[in-house]
Amino acid sequence: MHHFNYEDGHLHCEGVDLNEIADQIGTPVYVYSTATLRRHARVIAAAFDGMDCLIAYSVKANGNLAVLKTLASEGCGADVVSGGELKRALTAGIPAHRIVFSGVGKTREEMVLALETGIHQFNVESGAELIELSEVAMGLGKVAPVALRVNPDVAAGGHPNISTGKAGDKFGVPWADAPELYHQMKALPGVEAVGVDVHIGSQIGDLEPMRAAFKKTIGLVKFLRDAGHDLKRIDLGGGLGIPYQASDSPAPPSDYAQMIRDVTEGLGLQVILEPGRVIAGNAGVMVSEVLYHKPAPDRTFLIIDAGMNDLMRPALYQAHHDILPLAEPSADTPRTTYDIVGPICESTDKFAAQRKMPEVPAGGRIAFMSSGAYGAVLSSQYNARPLVAEVLVDGDQYALVRRRPSFDEMIQLEQMPDWLS
């Protein structure tokens, strides 16, 4: 569910006409709905009511400070994968004891920051990282709480690039190596095994791969407990899918929660979850303006002012986004088949191929639906284009929560060497 609907002939976010935002802020622009963010956070929390459960929102899905502050007010923790994301979460008011640090390539500096901050847990992804964390923690006189991320060799995810649980993926430690690494951890100073972590992919609609991976991981927890490891937590990652189009029907959070209750029942474990897309995805749209129509022998290009640097998902994952005109089409509005493309000098700068939709004139505006996750966070300044602006709506009010930098500000990050001055 989301709060983007046509009212009085115009697409609105909650009580605000998206045309008003485009007029004031310019395009392209991301627009997020507070009501949708809150509703999704509450639906997930309600599904796990009564369980010892830490809902650690995945900051990589959408790390805007205003979004994080909104979710912090709903009691969400954070799953971070960099020192920058950790600082964002803390700045937004998420307490350190509700933050887990994931990722395969943590630096010593990031480890120091997380240890000094006092985070809830490190999700460690290799033996080398474990040794490094031990050394860093010892140097600070601290003990790092650790869950090893295990790779269960279970395939899942809506695209090969977002499947993370197969044996050939870079994530996690090989399943067969996990018992020995936990044994080594007992002898290492500065680290303490507190749980096991698993995450098999993203945009997962079918719960069965998750169930298989979770049951396998629970078996490992029991084995390790029998071997003398006092494990208190299981981090089950994120990955629950969202509907990007009407034909999508991913499992609802209620079914997801019941499956997790079934596989963890009676073990006395704190369950850690890392939802991202399922909270933020349908809470945002990207608004863009049509620049030109360009006829070709076998198609018509709709050229817009947003590029793949603003919304990377179609180029990176061949992802589908529903695309709606901001002006509500009538029953007799002509339909046209477009290839929707941007101004970037790349053939991959294509948002949709042969998309049949209501005609949109030059100067008309369109909204890319369900772009609140992995949209603005993946944006770049490729082709010297400024980062896209972001706006948060709450009821009938809105605020600019990331402004578009000027060209001068972009240039000021660079400097000439002395021999060229």
Residues taking part in catalysis: 345
Of 314, 360, 302, residue with least CA distance to 335: 360
Contact 367, 331 (CB under 8 A): no
Whole-number Cα distances in Å, 325 to 114, 154, 319, 336, 350: 45, 40, 19, 13, 18
Q: Is 127 exposed, middle or buried (0-12, 13-18, 19+ CB in 10 A)?
A: middle
Beta strands in 166-206 (DSSP E): 173-174, 191-197
Task: Please report where in the chains the tokens 């951890």 appear, as a residue.
Answer: 185
DSSP annotation of 61 reads: G
Q: Compute the distance between CA of residue 40 and CA of residue 1 in angstroms, rounded to an integer.
A: 8
Q: Say how far apart CA 56 and CA 100 lie, in whole Å.
A: 7
The one-letter amino acid at 179:
P
User: Which of 47, 124, 51, 118 minimizes the C-alpha distance to 89?
Assistant: 118
Burial class (CB in 10 A: 0-12, 13-18, 19+), 411: exposed
Question: Which element (helix H / strand E) includes 154?
Answer: none
